Each structure stands twice: as structure tokens, then as C-alpha cells.
């Protein structure tokens, strides 16, 4: 709130000090040598910057993405998306994209090698460390490490989209910390300002900026237009940066990633008991930290359960075009007493729907 008494917006002609402080902090809490930041407003915009930086840094033109992926709904981001329901009305879009099976590193390797064999250069491989919109799909351990090795072998920029899974949501500060992997470019957002004001962005390793020449002074190179990646009017504004800095401080002081892991386990333990009680209604559950998914036998059953929960003042999140998988994504600071109330409400909802559909 103190920032509102100073100034909330800024001129992009000047470098605001809060933007510099925030970039430095992000460099300290992200893996490896990630350090160069570019601030945007929404998730799709951050993905667009990542895609453009990958092209500038590698000279490649192709991208590898995954089936089921969700990276936003702007034209470039939706081109990377792996759900036909979001893509088909806009085809053709960015053409140089190949989608491979999520969780299958060998499929990514084959796609890159096949493109190289016919003279094409791949700029970037973009992946969610856990697919959120696809239904909290968790890849096998070792998947991210394998992608890192493949990208290193072929000079491809590895892009992790951590907008939904980062900043403590999955039990570690960043989901890629789970495997100890550092991407070349990483997107962040969602929880970045504690829900106060939108701010997203990318953070990248030095080689990407040095090889691309973005900005000034990179190995003696300089673009005539330092805003070659983009020029978001409100990107990195002082109010958003102040909120993001405060969020980082609170997360570190209260160890929210560890808190998320513990509370997520409480949820998953409770969901397992409910699955055992209502196996034909709640068919399975899965998750990491406070990114949790319930799965039902059909869309209709999932929709009815969410309606029954809403009637009990519990709001859940579907996957936009699919109610068969329903997510639980509460604030990381949710009280244990509230978790207990949610599980009680879910017990009642499952019993109600199970009885109505003869599933008990």
C-alpha cells in the first residue's frame, strides 16, 4: 500500500528501481544461473516473450510442444497449446510447431532429430513441468532431466512454463526444483503478487540474452530497438513490482513451499480415503503440493459433484472444457480447519451424487 502513496505506474522510458530489485530477487530464488528478467502482465504474454527470445537466441524457427499443453490463448501461445478445442477455430496459426507426447522424452528427441535431418533448426522446447489444464498430469521422474540433456545436445532453448506450478504451488519454490533442473527460459505468474495486481514475466540464462543481443551491451551488440522482445505498457509497473517483492518476502519468511507440501499431503490423504469410500464416483486423485486433481467417471458426474460442492459453499476449478477432472487449487496459506471442512463437504457431495446415479 505504501507504493500507492508514491506512484503506481511509470514511464517505460525510464528504469524503475523496483524493477531492478525484483529482477535481482528472482535471480536469487530461481535455479542455476537464471537472472535476466522481462516483466509482462498476463501468462500468454510471458509465453510470447519466451518464444521470441528462443528464436533470437538460437536462430531456430521451430518449436516442440506437448499434447495436452496449455500456454495461453494469444496466437503464439495457443499455437503451442496441445488441446484441439482451443486451437481448431484459429487454424492455421504458427506453423513451425510439432507436438509430442507429454512425459516421453524420447518422443521429443525424435522430433528434434527428424527436423534437423531435413534441414530445420529448432528454437525451443516448451513444456509445463506438470500439465495443469490437462488435469494435473505429472510426468515420470527424470523427464525434465532428460529434456535438459536433449536440448543441450541440439542447441535448443529449454523453456519451462511455471506460471501455474511455480512459486510454491507444487511443494517446492519451482516445480523444476523437484528434479534439480535449470531451464534456459522460465515463465512465472499467477501467484506472483499475492493476488493483488497482475504481473508475470520470464527469467532467462545469460547466454540467451548474449546470443540474441536483446537490450544493450551484450557482447558489444545492440539492437536499434531495445524493446525487440515486446513493450508492454504496464509491464513491470511499480505497484506490481512492490506486490511481487512483498510476496517473495512472505513466501521465504513463512516457507510457503514446505507449507504447500504438507497441506497438499493432508488433502491427498483425505481424497484417498474418499476414493476408498466412493470408488465409483471419485475414481482417482493426484497432485503435488496444493495443485490437486480429482477424477470422475464422466463429465456429467464431475459437474454434478462441483454443483453439490458449490451448494456447500466450496468452489473448485474444472479444466475449462472438461469437468471429468476437477482441480483443488486453494491458497497455500489455507488453514487446516478449512481443509477439514472441504473434505467433509466433498464427502457429502460424493454421497449425494453417488446415490443419485446409483454408484454406491
What is the CATH number for 82? 3.40.640.10
Helix (H, G, I), strand (E, B) or coil at 216: strand
360 secondary structure, DSSP code? -
Residues 180 and 314 in one domain: no
- Residues 278 and 178 occupy one common structural domain: no
Would you tell me the crossing angle of helices 256-277 and 336-356 to the nearest 10 degrees? 30
* Same-domain status, 186 and 306: no
Count of domains in the chain?
Answer: 2
Domain boundary among 230, 254, 278: 254
Residues 247 and 262 in one domain: no
Does residue 96 sit in the same domain as residue 206? yes
- Rounded CA-CA distance 313/92 in Å is 42
The answer to whether the CB of 283 falls within 8 A of the CB of 332 is: no
Q: Are residues 64 and 18 in the same domain?
A: yes
213 Ramachandran zone, left/alpha/beta (phi>0; psi -120 to 50): left
Give the CATH number for residue 351. Answer: 3.90.1150.10
What does the pLDDT look like over 82-138, one tens digit per residue? 999 889 999 999 999 999 999 999 999 999 999 999 999 999 999 999 999 999 999
- Round to whole Å and give the CA distance between 181 and 151: 12
Residue 240 carries which DSSP code? H
Same domain for 110 and 175: yes
Same domain flag for 117 and 157 = yes
What count of residues does the chain have? 360
**100 and 41: one domain?**
yes
| Residues 247 and 261 grouped into a single domain | no
Q: Which of 206, 221, 254 is the last residue of a domain?
A: 254
> Which domain range does residue 266 map to?
256-356
- Domain boundary (254, 288, 309) is at 254
Residue 150 has pLDDT above 80, yes or no: yes
- Tell me the pLDDT of the chain averaged across its residues: 93
Tens of pLDDT, residues 251-296: 999 999 999 999 999 999 999 999 999 999 999 999 999 999 999 9
Amino acid at each position: 500500500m505504501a507504493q500507492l502513496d508514491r506512484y503506481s505506474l511509470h514511464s517505460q522510458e525510464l528504469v524503475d528501481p523496483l524493477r531492478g530489485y525484483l529482477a535481482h530477487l528472482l535471480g536469487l530464488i530461481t535455479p542455476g544461473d537464471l537472472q535476466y528478467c522481462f516483466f509482462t502482465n498476463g501468462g500468454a504474454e510471458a509465453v510470447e516473450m519466451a518464444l521470441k527470445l528462443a528464436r533470437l537466441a538460437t536462430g531456430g524457427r521451430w518449436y516442440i510442444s506437448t499434447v495436452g499443453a496449455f500456454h495461453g490463448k494469444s496466437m503464439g501461445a495457443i499455437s503451442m497449446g496441445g488441446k484441439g478445442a482451443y486451437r481448431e477455430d484459429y487454424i492455421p496459426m504458427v506453423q513451425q510447431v510439432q507436438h509430442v507426447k507429454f512425459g516421453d522424452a524420447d518422443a521429443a528427441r525424435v522430433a528434434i532429430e527428424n527436423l534437423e535431418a531435413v534441414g530445420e533448426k529448432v528454437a525451443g522446447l516448451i513444456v509445463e513441468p506438470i500439465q495443469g489444464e490437462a488435469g494435473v498430469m505429472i510426468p515420470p521422474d527424470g523427464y525434465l532431466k532428460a529434456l535438459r540433456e536433449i536440448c543441450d545436445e541440439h542447441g535448443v532453448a529449454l523453456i519451462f512454463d511455471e506460471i501455474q506450478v511455480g512459486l510454491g504451488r507444487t511443494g517446492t519454490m519451482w516445480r523444476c526444483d523437484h528434479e534439480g533442473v535449470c531451464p534456459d527460459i522460465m515463465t512465472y505468474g499467477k501467484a506472483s503478487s499475492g493476488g493483488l495486481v497482475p504481473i508475470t514475466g520470464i527469467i532467462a540464462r545469460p547466454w540467451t540474452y548474449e546470443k540474441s543481443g536483446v537490450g544493450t551491451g551484450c557482447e558489444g551488440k545492440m539492437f536499434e530497438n531495445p524493446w525487440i522482445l515486446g513493450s508492454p505498457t504496464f509491464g513491470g509497473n511499480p505497484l506490481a513490482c512492490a506486490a511481487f517483492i512483498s510476496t517473495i518476502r512472505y513466501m521465504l519468511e513463512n516457507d510457503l513451499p514446505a507449507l504447500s507440501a504438507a497441506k497438499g499431503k493432508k488433502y491427498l490423504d483425505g481424497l484417498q480415503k474418499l476414493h476408498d469410500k466412493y470408488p465409483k464416483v471419485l475414481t482417482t486423485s493426484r497432485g503435488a503440493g496444493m495443485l490437486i486433481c480429482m477424477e470422475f467417471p464422466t463429465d456429467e458426474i464431475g459437474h454434478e459433484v462441483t454443483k453439490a460442492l458449490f451448494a456447500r459453499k466450496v468452489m473448485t476449478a474444472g479444466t475449462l472444457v472438461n469437468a471429468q477432472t476437477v482441480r483443488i487449487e486453494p491458497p497455500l496459506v489455507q488453514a487446516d480447519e478449512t481443509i477439514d471442512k472441504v473434505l467433509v463437504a466433498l464427502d457429502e457431495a460424493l454421497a449425494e451424487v453417488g446415490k443419485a446415479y446409483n454408484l454406491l
